Amino acid sequence: MLLYLFLATILSGQYISGQFGPFEQDFGYVTVRDGAHMFYWLFYTTAEVENYTDRPLIVWLQGGPGGSSTGIGNFDIMGPLDLNLEPRNYTWVKNFNVMYLDNPVGSGFSYVDDPSHLTTTNDQIALDFVSLMKGFLEKHPEFQGVPLYIYGQSYGGKMAVDMAIRLREAEEAGDIQSDLRGIAMGNAWISPVDATLTWGPLLLAAGLVDEAGYESIQAAAREAERLFNDGQYLASTNAWSATQRAVFSATTNVDFYDITTKMPAWPDTRSDDAMEIMLRDGITREQELSLNTIMNTLVKPALNIPDHVVWTASNNQVFTTLNADFMKPVTDGIEKLLNETDIILTKYNGNLDLICSTPGQMLWVDRLKWDGAEAYRNAPRLPIWEDDRLEGYYKAYGNFRFFWINVAGHSVPRDNPAGANAFLRDMTGFP
C-alpha cells in the first residue's frame, strides 16, 4: 500500500526530485561536532501569507532519548503526511514552519562516526542544538529574527530546557541571530523520580490495580528514589525499569502511554524491554514497522541519505549512553529560565498518560522557586473550550503556564488536536 501511494505520487507529477511528497521542504545535515552529524527536515508553512517567514519556526523534538522526530513526530503525530502517506488535516504545517530534528546525534537519520561521539548529558545535547541552529541559520539566514519555539515531547521536553538556556546564552553573546520566544514541555520527563512515584497512586485511583499491586509498584519506585538520592544514578535508572515491570505485572500490561488501553504482551521481563517502552515514545510495534518501511525504503533515497545510515524509530545505544543522566531532573533549569529570561515556558499534559503522568508534573511545578510562584499558585484554573467542547484546563502567570488536556495520552497533538490548538495559540498567537 505504501509503495503504491509513493509510486502514485511520482506518476501524478507531485513528487519533486530531492524531496519527499508534495510539500515545500528543506533538509540536510549539520556537523555539530567533529564526528557528529545531525539531520533536520524542515516543512515550510502552507498558511496563506506573503512570505513563509511571516509565521514562526517550530522545532519538534522527540523523546526516548533516541526517538526520531523525522519519523515519529512527522508521520505519526502532526506532520503534513500521516502513516498512510495521506495529507493530515490537523498538521501544524498549516500555521507554522516546522523543523523535525533527529536529536540527540545517533537518532533517526543523524549519525556519529564513532560511538564515542554520542552525548552523555543533557547539556551536551543542548550545545549540539546550538551548533545545529548556527548551521541551519547560515544556510537559511531568512529565519534570523523569525520567532522560534521549541516543542519537546517526553524526553524531548527535558532536552528543551537546557537547549533554551544555551541558546539564549548564545543569543545574548551575539554568537547566533535566532529569536527564541518559548519552549513547550509535552508530557515531559522533567522530574523522573516524581513521575515514577505517582504511577502507583494513579493506577490505584483509576481502579487498575489493587492494594497489593499498588504496594509492589511503590516499593520499586521508592527504591529508584532512594538510589537517586544516594547519587547512584545508573542504579536508579535500573530501578525505574524494575518499577515498569512491576506495573506490567500488576496491570497485565497497561499501556504506559494511555491507561485506557493495553500494550501487547512482552516476550519477557528483561530491563531492556522496559526501557524500550520509553524509547518508543508512544508508538506501537505495528507503527514502528510501518515507519521502518517509509523511512528506509521511501524517504531515505528521496532525501539522499548516506547508504551507511539506517533509520530506526529509536536508538538503544543513544538511550544507553545517557543512562546515568536519565533520572536527573531539569527543574533548576526551569527556575533559571523563569527568573532570568522572558522565554515563555508551557507545560502541557495529556491526562491519560502514565509514564509522564499529570500528577507527577504537578509535584515539581508546585515546588518551583521563582518570582511568580505564589501568584501562579493563586491564579485561577480556567476551562479550555474549543468548538463548544471542554478539552481541558489551563493555569498561567507571567511566562509560565500549565495545560491539562482531556482525552489525550502521551502524544497530545495526535490524540487531541483541538486541545493542542489551545496551547499553540496561547504561546504563538496562531492560529
Point out the residues that are catalytic: 154, 353, 410
* Residue 277, amino acid: I
Residue 252 — φ and ψ, nearest 5°? 55, 55
3-state secondary structure of 392: strand
- Specify the 3-state DSSP secondary structure of 153: strand
Specify which residues 384 forms β-bridges with: 392
Give CA separation, 397 vs 62, 297, 318, 345, in Å.
27, 48, 36, 10
In contact, 25 and 56? CB cutoff 8 Å: no
C-alpha cell at 70: 523525522
Closest C-alpha among 117, 195, 115 to residue 154: 195
First to last CA, the chain: 34
Find, among 134, 189, 205, 125, the residue nearest to 157 by Cα: 189
Kindly list the distances between the CA atom of residue 256 and the CA atoms of 95, 278, 411, in Å, as whole numbers in the listed order. Answer: 31, 9, 12
DSSP result, 265-302: PPS---HHHHHHHHHHTT--HHHHHHHHHIIIIIIHHH
d(CA 57, CA 359): 31
Type of residue found at 352: L
d(CA 387, CA 312) in angstroms, rounded, equals: 38
Question: 3-class DSSP state for residue 61?
Answer: strand
Q: Please give the Cα distance from 18 to 115 (Å, whole number).
A: 29
Alpha-carbon gap, residue 294 to 2, rounded angstroms: 7
- Burial class, 47, CB count within 10 angstroms (exposed 0-12 / middle 13-18 / buried 19+): middle
Strand partners, 179: 147
Cα dist from 249 to 147, 208, 259, 283, whole Å: 47, 11, 14, 21
- Three-class DSSP category at 302: helix
CB 153, CB 62: distance < 8 Å: yes
